[in-house]
Chains A and B, each alone.
Chain A
Amino acid sequence: MRLIAAVAAATLIMAGAADARTWRIRPGPEAEQQLQTALIEARPGDTVQLGRGRIELTAGLSLDVDRVTIRGDGEDRSILSFNGQRRGAEGLLITSDDVTLRGFAVENARGDAIKARDCNGITIREVRVEWTRGPNPENGAYGLYPVNCDNVLIERSIARGASDAGIYVGQSRNIIVRDNLAEFNVAGIEIENSFNADVFGNTATRNTGGILVFDLPGLPQKGGHSVRVFRNTIVNNDTPNFAPAGNIVAGVPTGTGVLIMANRNVHVFENEIGDNGTVNVLISAYRNAFDDAEYNPLARDIVIRDNEFGNTGFAPAGDLAALSQLGVPIPDVLWDGATMYSVGGTPRMETVRIVVQDNTSTRTGQSSFLSLGMPVAGSPLTEAQPSPTPPPLLAVEEPDAVRIR
Chain B
Amino acid sequence: MSKFFKSWRFTPPPNPLHSMGGGIALMLAALLLMTSATAQAPQPVNDRAILAERPPALLSDYRLFRDAGARNPNGRVTSYDLNTALYSDGALKFRYVYIPQGAQARYNAEGVFEFPVGTVLVKTFAFAADMRTPTENVRFIETRLLIRQAEGWVAYPYVWNEAQTEARYSPIGADVPMSFTDEEGEAIALDWAVPNRNQCKACHDRDGDLTPIGPSARNLLRDFAYPTGAENQIAHWNRAGILGSLPAREVLPVPRAYDPTSGSVNDRARAYLDVNCAHCHNPQGPGHTSGLDLSWGQTDPALWGVLKRPVAAGRASGGFEFAIEPGHPERSILVHRMQSTDPGVMMPELGRQLVDERGVELMREWIAAMDRDGRTPQ
A residues near B (Cβ < 8 Å) are 1-6, 8, 33, 36-37, 39-41, 59-60, 62-64, 85-89, 93, 95, 109-112, 117-118, 137-142, 145, 147-148, 163-164, 168, 170-171, 216, 218-220, 243-248, 288, 291
Chain B residues near A118 (CB-CB < 8 A): 208, 286
The chain B residue sitting closest to A246, CB to CB, is B317
CB pair A64 B201 closer than 8 Å: yes
The chain B residue sitting closest to A245, CB to CB, is B319
CB pair B343 A86 closer than 8 Å: yes
* Distance A95 CA – B200 CA, assembled complex (angstroms): 13
Question: How many Å from the CB of B246 to the closest CB on chain A?
Answer: 35
CB pair B309 A288 closer than 8 Å: yes
CB pair A117 B289 closer than 8 Å: yes
Chain A residues near B288 (CB-CB < 8 A): 148, 220
Question: How many Å from the CB of B353 to the closest CB on chain A?
Answer: 8
CB pair B343 A246 closer than 8 Å: no
* Distance A111 CA – B148 CA, assembled complex (angstroms): 34
Chain A residues near B315 (CB-CB < 8 A): 137-141, 163, 244
CB pair A88 B312 closer than 8 Å: no
B267 at the interface (CB under 8 A from A): no
The chain A residue sitting closest to B321, CB to CB, is A246
Main secondary structure of the interface of A (DSSP, over half): loop
* Distance A320 CA – B168 CA, assembled complex (angstroms): 63
**Assuming A148-B288, A170-B312, A220-B289, is B172 touching A1 (CB within 8 A)?**
no
CB pair B177 A244 closer than 8 Å: no
Q: Which 5 A-B pairs give the minimum distances between C-beta atoms?
A: A141-B314, A246-B317, A110-B344, A111-B344, A5-B170
Q: A111-B343, A219-B289 provided; 11 other pairs, C-beta below 8 A?
A: A63-B198, A87-B350, A89-B346, A93-B198, A95-B286, A112-B312, A139-B315, A140-B315, A218-B308, A220-B291, A243-B314
**Assuming A1-B176, A5-B173, A40-B172, is B349 touching A246 (CB within 8 A)?**
no
CB pair B170 A6 closer than 8 Å: yes
- Sample of 11 A–B contacts (CB below 8 Å): A6-B168, A36-B173, A62-B198, A62-B202, A88-B350, A89-B346, A95-B286, A140-B344, A163-B314, A244-B314, A246-B313
- For chain B, residues 197 to 214, give those with C-beta under 8 angstroms from any C-beta of chain A: 197-199, 201-202, 208
- Find B317's partner among A37, A60, A89, A247 (CB 8 Å cutoff): A247
Main secondary structure of the interface of B (DSSP, over half): loop
Chain A residues near B194 (CB-CB < 8 A): 5
Question: How many Å from the CB of A56 to the closest CB on chain B?
Answer: 15
* Distance A110 CA – B314 CA, assembled complex (angstroms): 11
CB pair A246 B319 closer than 8 Å: yes
CB pair B314 A5 closer than 8 Å: no
Chain B residues near A6 (CB-CB < 8 A): 168, 170
Chain A residues near B193 (CB-CB < 8 A): 59, 87
The chain B residue sitting closest to A171, CB to CB, is B289
The chain A residue sitting closest to B336, CB to CB, is A246
CB pair A244 B170 closer than 8 Å: no
- Find A141's partner among B172, B312, B346 (CB 8 Å cutoff): B312
